[in-house]
Amino acid sequence: MGSQYLKKITHPAKYLRDKIYARKQMVPKPTVFIVDSYPLRDLTLRELINAQDWEVKTYNSAEAFLEAFDPSHPGCLLLDVHAPRMGGLALQKQLEDQNSRLPLLFVSIQGTVSQAVQAIHAGAVDFLIKPVKPSLLIERLQEGLAHSLRIQEAQRKQEEITTRLSQLTPREQQVMEGLIEGKLSRIIASELGISTKTVEHHRAQVMTKLQTRNRAELIQLTLSGLQGTGEKIPRRVSL
């Protein structure tokens, strides 16, 4: 476990509730990001996307998108493999280098199989060839946005766990590690050179601060914090 701790909080339970509530309030609306030199030039597609009540932001180049990109903002990126200047695949590589989890949906008038394979292998939601069937485009965008929201929720939960763990004192953390390893209170007491009663006190504090009721929930909480956001998105090539 980490060794960094926040300053002592007088009422940790209330502090955690307030902090978690504040984070929930800050979750932005998912957005469809579009990189195209002529954004949404297809009137039918534009009307269809607008009808979904999504927030839409357009950029006339990959560079313009990168300059404004906020990794914490949920959404899905719709771009042409032949995006202006940088190109769609190069933009995908840039985002990958930044460890971005933003879902990408490629479209192209004349994409090649090798381009599609490269894009999908790097994690794109799909590679669509224009003209795109409107219902298919909306379906893929919905998948991308839903995946992005799941990632956002998983990250939020991880942050909550980190916040809870940060409230533990060094001694409470030692007791917690002993509990996770399945040790009895008397064994933990002997190893730490303290009384069993003191261990039980620290154990109660750990359970309160981490909002767990027993050892099983404690183990599950710590495992959830270590597993990360392992969400996988279905990948397709609609050539």
Task: Look at 204 and 4; give whichever has higher pLDDT.
Answer: 204
Residues 6+ apart with CB under 8 A from 25: none
Q: Quick check: 216 pLDDT over 70?
A: yes
Give the domain ranges of the chain: 12-24+158-227, 28-153
pLDDT higher than 80, residue 3: no
**Bond into 28 cis (ω within 30):** no
pLDDT of 39 strictly over 60: no
CATH (residue range 28-153): 3.40.50.2300
CATH architecture of 12-24+158-227: Orthogonal Bundle (1.10)
This model's pTM is above 0.75: no
Query: In 37-74, which ranges are E strands?
Result: 55-59
Q: Is 182 left (phi over 0), alpha (psi -120 to 50) or beta?
A: left
